[in-house]
Amino acid sequence: MTTKRVIVCSIIVLGIALLTVLGSYIYREVQMERERRITEAYLGVNLAFGLVTRQEVREGHGAEYLPLRTVDSSVNSWGICIYLYAVLVIYEHESGNNLDYETVVDYFSEEFEPDGSRRLHNNGNHPEIEKFVSWLPFLSPRLSSRLTYMNWFHEYYARDISDGEFVLHPFESLSPQMIEALVLEAISPDPEKMVDLTSIQQAGY
């Protein structure tokens, strides 16, 4: 083999080696970016729906599929988790977007899509969930005060407004109709147009 051929062969071998290394590096980078996006998607949706706290995230939790708690003490006799239902009603009034409670339950019912891919809120198949997760940072500054006001008004109404006609039940046991009324009161409190919780309760809710 001539010196020229040796040089050419060496260059080809070196090129193949470099391409192999480069390809391996690019593959690892793509995989790392994919995992990063999956992690961010899980953290975002789990935080948004209260399945994990920010403290738990700081401790390294929440970057995986977590099923919605639908059959435990957080769900009342009306079949709803008060916190989640209230947040969805507040979200609808604050943003103008609707996200049904049933849609959320259905989203969290499966870890994977029918095609076997991971079920992520931002994969293009769940626009309602994606809108909610994207909107939550804008809602968060008011969310805690809304929920606190709802709890306070519920007790205040029973104690000072209803003349004993309204029976105060634990907040966690309230019906969807009662929660919706309390959300309206929390968003637009008006002493002249106070919600009538007594009528809602007497109607069976």
In this structure, are 81 and 43 located in the same domain?
Answer: no
Whether residue 152 sits in one domain with residue 78: yes
pLDDT at 149: 95
Q: Give the confidence band of 1 by pLDDT, cuts at 50, 70, 90.
A: low
Query: What is the structure's pLDDT at 68?
Result: 83
- Given this model, what pLDDT does residue 202 score? 95
- Integer Cα distance of 43 and 31 in angstroms: 18
- The pLDDT of residue 163 is 86
Residue ending a domain, among 33, 50, 66, is: 66
Q: What is the pLDDT of residue 71?
A: 47
In this model, does residue 146 exceed pLDDT 50?
A: yes
Burial class of residue 111 (count of CB atoms within 10 Å of its CB; 0-12, 13-18, 19+): exposed
Q: In the listed set 50, 66, 82, which residue is the last one of a domain according to the structure?
A: 66
- Per-residue pLDDT reduced to its tens digit, 18-50: 777 767 767 676 667 778 889 999 999 998 888
Task: Tell whether 44 and 86 lie within a shared domain.
Answer: no
Q: What percent of the chain has pLDDT over 70?
A: 91
Question: Could you tell me if 30 and 128 lie in one domain?
Answer: no
Question: What's the pLDDT tens digit per position in 61-91?
Answer: 889 999 886 545 578 999 999 889 999 999 9
Query: Do 56 and 90 lie in a common domain?
Result: no
Domain count of the fold of the chain = 2
pLDDT at 162 over 60: yes
Is the confidence at residue 141, as pLDDT, over 90?
no
- Residues 133, 50, single domain; the answer is no
Beta bridge partners of 75: 81
Q: By residue range, what is the domain housing residue 146?
A: 68-205
- Is the same domain home to 98 and 47? no
Which of 33, 66, 99 marks a domain boundary? 66
Q: Are residues 55 and 94 in the same domain?
A: no
pTM: 0.79
Residues 32 and 128 in one domain: no
Q: Are residues 109 and 200 in the same domain?
A: yes
DSSP 136-205: HHHHHHHHHHHHHHHHHHHHHIIIIISTT-S----GGG--HHHHHHHHHHHHS--GGG---HHHHHHTT-
Alpha-carbon span 110 to 118, nearest angstrom: 9
Does the pLDDT value for residue 108 go beyond 80?
yes
Are 57 and 85 in a shared domain? no
121 band by pLDDT with thresholds 50, 70 and 90: very high
One domain, residues 59 and 103: no
